[in-house]
């Protein structure tokens, strides 16, 4: 079966060009082949022209799925409760649920049992993230502020009682907050540890 040849693709995710190259077929045939294998449950379509072998998907850990989230919408970075949980700043647990901040439209994408959520923000607020183990993820302070920002707009709801505020740098939170709208800054004042002294 030609499908087993796809295991020679030395990348986690791949497109029609890779399928065509490995199977020695034309690009239109690669598209047809990909669709057939998706229907057979051998390949998983992550988005248009981006696939992963089913057996590879089933072995991915949470952090590897962060990388998949970065690929589904680019540019984007992992943030909100997903990042806070990664940094062990919240007791909230999200099984197979991945939240990101992006510059394109807000959307939800389901891949098998995993749900990828993307919240759109203004370009001026697209900062405060870093590349960690090949994945773009917010700093703890920015993940918290992204949550406060979206909550202040009525677009998000998170349990601030579950946050370990001692693990956040109040100076950095206040510094980042200067870039956010006044409404968000006022909302932040609800948290005593971030009020100006």
Cβ proximity of 147 and 130 under 8 Å: no
Domain ranges, ordered by start, for the chain: 2-57, 62-194
How many Å apart are CA 26 and CA 7, to the nearest integer? Answer: 19
Look up the CATH architecture of domain 2-57.
Orthogonal Bundle (1.10)
Which tokens in the block code for residue 87?
């940094």
| CA quadruple 113, 139, 194, 174: dihedral, nearest 10 | -130
- Among 86, 6, 80, smallest CA distance to 43 is for 6
Per-residue pLDDT of the chain (197 residues; tens, 9 = 90+): 688 899 999 999 999 999 999 999 999 999 999 999 999 999 999 999 999 999 999 999 999 999 999 999 999 999 999 999 999 999 988 889 999 999 999 999 999 999 999 999 999 999 999 999 999 999 999 999 999 999 999 999 988 899 999 999 999 999 999 999 999 999 998 887 777 65
Q: What are the C-alpha distances in Å from 148 to residues 17, 26, 73, 163?
A: 42, 50, 22, 12
Backbone angles phi and psi of 104, in degrees to 5? -90, -160
- Whole-model pTM: value is 0.93
Greatest alpha-carbon pair distance for the chain in Å reads: 69
- Among 119, 115, 161, 167, smallest CA distance to 140 is for 167
């Amino acid at each position: 079966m030609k499908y087993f040849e796809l295991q020679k693709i030395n990348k986690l995710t791949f497109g029609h060009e890779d399928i065509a190259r490995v199977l020695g077929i034309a690009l239109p045939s690669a598209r047809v082949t990909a669709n057939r294998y998706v229907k057979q449950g051998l390949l998983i379509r992550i988005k248009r022209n981006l696939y992963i072998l089913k057996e590879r998907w089933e072995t991915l850990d949470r952090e590897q799925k962060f990388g998949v989230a970065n690929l589904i919408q680019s540019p984007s970075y992992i943030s909100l409760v997903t990042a806070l949980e990664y940094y062990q700043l919240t007791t909230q647990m999200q099984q197979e649920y991945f939240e990101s901040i992006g510059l394109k439209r807000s959307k939800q994408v389901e891949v098998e049992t995993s749900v990828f959520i993307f919240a759109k923000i203004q370009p001026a607020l697209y900062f405060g993230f870093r590349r960690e183990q090949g994945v773009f993820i917010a700093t703890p302070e920015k993940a918290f502020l992204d949550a406060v920002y979206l909550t202040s707009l009525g677009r998000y709801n998170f349990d601030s009682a579950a946050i370990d505020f001692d693990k956040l740098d109040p100076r950095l939170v206040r510094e980042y907050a200067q870039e956010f709208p006044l409404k968000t800054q006022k909302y932040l004042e609800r948290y005593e540890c971030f009020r100006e002294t």
